[in-house]
Structure 1
């Protein structure tokens, strides 16, 4: 419950009733947040225990339970975030400040300044669509859209050129570069990705195999 200050009554009894209602609402929200915090802590402890049990083992059952708990934890955190109705500036399609029924906007995730940014300009042109007059720049509205560059596999062809001496007919060729795993096609970047996905992101090898198959 919230009312603008200019709309509040001057009656002390009415004000006391409003204060009591706000206190009850605040207590209810605080209790809900405490329950959410307890669930989050319980889920995190359970996930940590299962990860210790799964370390060094290939138990698919444990890995699936970890995944289910992580999804439940994610859903709970999303639910807590949705309860936070603090307004933000999205930079586009937002209602005017003088509109009394403007809805509260959801909180936008924080993106590091070091994150790669690509600028796309939407230019209305040089002529006014109504009168045909020349347009001049008076400012711009900038909004951000968080997107992802999908991973891409590539094959690096190593061509060792053979050359022969015109004088002595000796064959000259650069030696083959060393590989992280002798006889394997896996390059160092691919191996690093596989290791991080398995031991840090807990993504089993068979699932990585399915992902690589979808990538061709």
Structure 2
């Protein structure tokens, strides 16, 4: 029965909570994180019992991703998922309360306070904007209107991505040098051209909105030029949320807030395992088989990036 499967999943994630919390603690203190969110429908029995509609509300799932592979970093990749019952900024402020460094995300207003300078010092987080998000705005306008201006914007951004393909996986200093030489002139030219174009088009058009979005975050869009670790876009976080989008077509909604929280915990351990090249089913089967006998002070040994199957671990010990 589905109720039995749901119960098993919930108890499994509760059993693995110490391990999941260890994954979260390791990733969330990283000095460079990708962040994004997506809606999730949640059954709200209180509303249904009171006759207030169909009893379904909209919550959010946030994904926070560390992926240093594009710049040959040494920290293993991982993803942390968090559920919240609404889209209020208080949730991201709580999620990122201990974060320091750079946050690559979209223009969600809830992040704004994280970029504000602290009393007597710099801000805790610097904003890195997403060129893929900006490109999407121009592409949507071009697809519907065949605008030559939007087409040129796409071509200009495309040349930046051509450079990125050539330096993907290279050390941060190599990426920085290439961007300074090749990308920076193109970025500066793009924004100078944007300022000219915005004077020629209707101010309320979607094309003007796209230009204003870029110009208003010019510093954030240029941060990747000064730090070879920073990606040109936020695609790692968007990819991390893709399983949620696919899942919505199958399970429609979470049965309650607790179910959505279980989903977030399950996604954290499953997607982190996948990012580290593991078969998540084999990993979970092994961990669940041995977790009750595993010493709490040796959790690091069974983190996805350190894990070896129990048989392999015994062979090495022998």
- When normalised by structure 2's length, the TM-score is 0.16
Structure having the higher helix fraction is: 2
> Which structure carries more relative contact order (alpha carbon 8 Å, separation 6+)?
2
Would you tell me which structure has more strand in proportion to its own residues? 2
